[in-house]
Structure 1
Amino acid sequence: MTITKESMEKLDKRAIEDFGIDSLILMENAAMAVFNHIKRYNSYTVVCGSGNNGGDGLAVARHLILNNKEVDVFIIQEARTPDAKKNLEILERMTRNIYYINETEDLVRLTKSLKEKEVVVDAIFGIGLDREIVGICKETINTINKYGHLIVSIDIPSGMDANTGNIQGASIFAHETIAIHEEKICLKNTRISGKITKVYIGIPGPYQEFIKK
């Protein structure tokens, strides 16, 4: 089964508003699922954007650190969603290896990390991306594609249109994509998404009905 961006957003909203599942719980469930899938490696570069996809990445980094993995965290722009901010706040109490990418010079440290670490976790953009990627974000994506050994994207590769699979200015070319809840329709473009793995995070399905209020 594949799902559109709009359908996934409706399921998220239904889980939060109708069932009362806090969005932070869903983010934690997603992070734990991703962690369990990639934990066999020893070293990681985690690259996060400012939204909830980035929040997933920050939470994944926390679980990796708690399990004694070598982790560098890179953040493009400041975390802007409440759940991403909360996960950054927690992570800042656990590691000093958090670096911000604001200009081209900051990519030197990222390149070094990518060359040294076994896995790069792509958590820059998710299904909410609705613009062309330019500037430092585009440079960061190109750097990851050039130097990343094993690129694992959370939900969809950063830069893909969630419905069409088209590249929006630049895109991560993932070796594997871990689809959250359901495989997004864009992931049919396996040239960009690589191997697809679907993980469960506790979102009720569209046809599941429970006790009515």
Structure 2
Amino acid sequence: MRERYNRSLPKDLYRAEDVRAMDRYAIETVGIPGIELMRRAGVSAFVALRERWPEARTLSAICGGGNNGGDAYVVARLAHEAGMDVRVYPVAPPNSLKGDALTAYQGYRAAGGGVLDFIPADFEGAEVLVDGLLGTGLDREVSGLYAEVIKAVNRFSGHVAALDIPSGLHADTGVALGVAIKADLTVTFIGLKQGLFTGEGPEYAGEVVFADLGTPPEVRHSVKPSAMLLPQWERGLPSRPRYAHKGHFGHVLVVGGDHGYSGAARMAAEAAARVGAGLISVATRRAHADSLNLTRPELMCHGVETAEELRILLERATVIAVGPGLGRSEWAQTLLGAALKTDLPIVADADALNLLAANPRKRDNWVITPHPGEAARLLNTSSAEIQKDRFTAIRRLQAQFGGVAVLKGSGSLICGPNGLPSVCTAGNPGMASGGMGDVLTGVIAGLLAQRIELFEAAALGAQLHGAAGDEAAKTGERGLLASDLMDSLRRLVNL
């Protein structure tokens, strides 16, 4: 399974315009010449690709007409000076270069480096290909010669290292603009671009390495971050006192499991138990209440058909998880309505969100966990529009519905009242299977039951859920089941 990001990455994420402002600050206020920043970028990238592929002896570089191309010329010069067999393909004519990019090109030529005056159909003669085609300023679909070059790069069977961002990937949204280079390694400079970590970004970026280019902290402090990167799960929850009893760790009530969907409520309930909630009750259809806990007798399962029957269970609960397998029947609407009348913290998912889309409301003490399709219904748009700009979507969800919103998917986003999204990079494509969302609902509810604050429970829940999925996928992503995460959840909360 390909590594998603370097453990040593800083937590602050930025939009492309913010990183450009940081770059200007470094040049104009700190006094670092632009060509020196370009030289440092090239050195950082060359060191990173040599560490990643130490045996490589051949390198090709594609160079555009801007500073991204200038960075690539620096890498090519360093590779040439190191004795590598180097081939450079200038997509923009060298006589069109200006400023620092021109200086970098001249430095490469002065070192004895040559250029080829054509773009080959492929780059099979090299072990490593450096992408210096387009930078972070791209805001429209790639077309013409540049699109053809990107397609040729993606046919290349060797290793690809992108400079700052894979060409064709939108730095702010993580969307491929028609076509984008699929890199194995991305070395990004000055500030982390938020689009590298959500949506299509992780697929195109590969492993991300960060280089601050020796700029002082004041450069990064000159602008505010647009998002935050959550760390990998490396610790469990705090140890418990010896005198603890089950009442100290909350009582989760899972509401759901309509006819044919009892498994969803069952998985949410076990996930809440596996992360440490003290008691777990399930309010479900009477027809299968007696059988729901046959393989997990610790769950207290109740057949509930009316709001009054649910009210009795609500009086004992400390947290509600509503939606897994709930359906959209009159029964579902009745139970959701009863849950929403309480002051208890709620985790709402699945059909609870679909019902909420038809009757929107705002609430401060809940976590909503939509996937892009559910988010589209909540915001009255399409899932394609949600995926075009996940950062805008998560802010809209939180503003419209309150509490904490979790937008699931590659690079899940979590946003609370302060409006600054956090990005969770844990997880893998094997988790694209039924029931994974139900497990996440139970995980977050189980953390809330242990008196963890709303946003922290959502963020920790996303990290823990993704980490459990990654651990469970070590034997293979394909065929991964939601229930496969249970043992990993228990292990990880006890690290």
- TM surpasses 0.5: yes
Q: Structure 1: which amino acid aligns with 2:109? A: E
SS in 2 for 1:98: coil
When the two structures are superposed, what TM-score results if normalisation uses the length of structure 1? 0.88
Name the aligned partner's letter for residue 193 of structure 2: K
Q: Is the 8 A contact 1:46 1:61 kept in 2?
A: yes
**Which residue identity does 1:56 align to in structure 2?**
D
1:64 aligns with 2:76: no
- Residue 324 of structure 2: aligned partner: none
**Larger of the two Rg values belongs to structure:** 2
Deviates further, 32-41 or 20-29: 32-41
Match of 2:6 in 1: none
TM-score (norm 2): 0.39
1:113-152 pair list within 5 angstroms? 114-152=123-161
**RMSD of aligned C-alpha atoms?**
1.5
Return the match for 1:172 from 181, 202, 208: 181
Q: Measure the CA separation in 1 of the matches of 2:189 and 2:207.
A: 14
**2:204 pairs with 1:195:** no
Cα distance, 1:96 vs structure 2:
5.2
Q: Which moved more, 1:155-164 or 1:36-45?
A: 36-45
Whole-angstrom CA distance in 2 between matches of 1:90 and 1:142: 29
> Which residue among 11, 17, 20 is the counterpart of 2:31?
20
Tell me if the contact between 1:155 and 1:180 (Cα under 8 Å) persists in the aligned partners.
Answer: yes
Matches within 5 A, 1:43-58: 43-58=58-73
How big is each residue's C-alpha offset from its partner over 1:15-42, in whole Å with a ceiling of 9 and x where there is no partner? 1111111000000011111111123221
Q: How far off is 1:53 after superposition?
A: 0.4
**Equivalent residue of 1:120, what SS?**
strand
Does the 8 Å CA contact 2:77/2:113 hold for their aligned counterparts? no
Q: Is the 8 A contact 1:33 1:200 kept in 2?
A: no
Unaligned runs of 5+ in 1: 209-213
**2:69 partner amino acid:** G
Out of 18, 22, 35, the residue aligned to residue 11 of structure 1 is 22
Q: Percent identity?
A: 28
Aligned residue identity for 2:150: I
CA contact (8 A) 1:152 1:177 kept: yes
- Mapped contact 2:187–2:211 kept (Cα < 8 A): yes
Residue 35 (str. 1) matches residue 49 (str. 2) = no
1:44 counterpart SS class: strand
Moved over 2 A (4+): 78-81, 93-97, 203-208
Inter-CA distance 56–148: structure 2 relative to 1 (3 Å threshold): farther
* Shift, 1:182, TM fit: 2.6
Gaps of 5+ in 2: 1-10, 223-495
Task: Give 1:90 deviation, angstroms.
Answer: 1.9
Residue of structure 2 in register with 1:207 after alignment: 221
Query: 1:100 Cα deviation (Å)?
Result: 3.1
Shift of 1:151: 0.7
For the 8 Å contact 1:54–1:125, the answer to whether it is kept is yes
Q: Please tell me the residue identity of whatever aligns with 1:193.
A: A
Corresponding residue for residue 243 of structure 2: none
CA contact (8 A) 1:47 1:57 kept: yes
- Length, aligned pairs only: 200
User: How many angstroms apart in 1 are the aligned matches of 2:162 and 2:89?
Assistant: 15
Residue number in structure 2 paired with 1:107: 120
Query: For the Cα contact (< 8 Å) 2:80–2:113, is it kept in 1?
Result: no
Q: CA–CA distance in 1 between the matches of 2:120 and 2:143? A: 15
Contact 1:26 1:201 in 2 (8 A): yes
One-letter amino acid matched to 1:107:
P
- Secondary structure in 2 aligned to 1:117? coil
**Residue by residue, what CA displacement relative to the aligned partner does 1:61-90 show, whole Å, maximum 9, x if unpaired?**
001111101110011112433111111112
Identify the structure with bigger relative contact order (alpha carbons < 8 Å, sequence gap 6+): 1
- Tell me, in whole angstroms, the C-alpha distance in 1 between the residues paired with 2:33 and 2:14: 22
Question: Do the aligned residues in 1 keep the contact of 2:189 with 2:212 (CA within 8 Å)?
Answer: yes
Q: CA deviation at 1:136?
A: 1.0
1:82 aligns with 2:91: no
Distance in 1, matches of 2:179 and 2:161, equals 16
Name the aligned partner's letter for residue 120 of structure 2: L
